[in-house]
Amino acid sequence: MHGLGELEGKVMDVLWSAAEPMRVRDVLDALTSARPLAYTTVLTVLDNLHGKGWVRRSRAGRAYVYTAVESRAEAGARVLRDVLDASGDAERVLLHFARSASPDESAILRRALRQDGSK
C-alpha cells in the first residue's frame, strides 16, 4: 500500500485479515517471512503504524491489542484521494487511470457512476 514500508504493509495485511484485535505476538506468529523477525521489530512497526494513524491500540491486560483503523478498501480510497489532492491536476490523473483500467475495473466504475447519478 502506498505510504507504507514493506514490513508495514505486511503487518497491515495481517491486521486487515484478522477477525479480532491482535497482540504483537499474534501478528508476529501470523507473519510469514524469509527471515525470522524479532518481537521488538514487530512491536516497533506496530508503534509506528499507530503513530501514523493506520492502527488503533487498546489495553488488554498488560499488553496492547491492535486493529486497523479502516478497511483495506477504505485505506486504498484514502491513499487515492491523497494522490489526487497532491497531483495538482486531478482530472489528468483520473483520465490516465481510466485509460489504464481493465475491462472489469471499467465496468465497476461505470456501475458506480450510474448508481451515484440516480441519487
The CATH number of whichever domain residue 35 belongs to comes to 1.10.10.10
Q: How confident is the model at residue 3 (pLDDT cuts 50, 70, 90)?
A: confident
The whole domain housing 10 covers: 6-68
Average pLDDT, whole number, for the chain? 91
> What are the tens digits of pLDDT across the range 31-81?
977 678 999 999 999 999 999 999 999 999 999 999 999 999 999 999 889
DSSP assignment string, the chain: -TTS-HHHHHHHHHHHH-SS-B-HHHHHHH---SS---HHHHHHHHHHHHHHTSEEEEEETTEEEEEESS-HHHHHHHHHHHHHHHHS-HHHHHHHHHHH--HHHHHHHHHHHHHHHT-
What confidence score (pLDDT) does residue 2 get? 66
Taking 90 as the threshold, does the pLDDT of residue 15 lie above it? yes
What confidence score (pLDDT) does residue 119 get? 55
Same domain (yes/no): 55, 77? no
Same domain (yes/no): 108, 86? yes
Same domain (yes/no): 77, 64? no
Tell me if 53 is assigned to some domain: yes
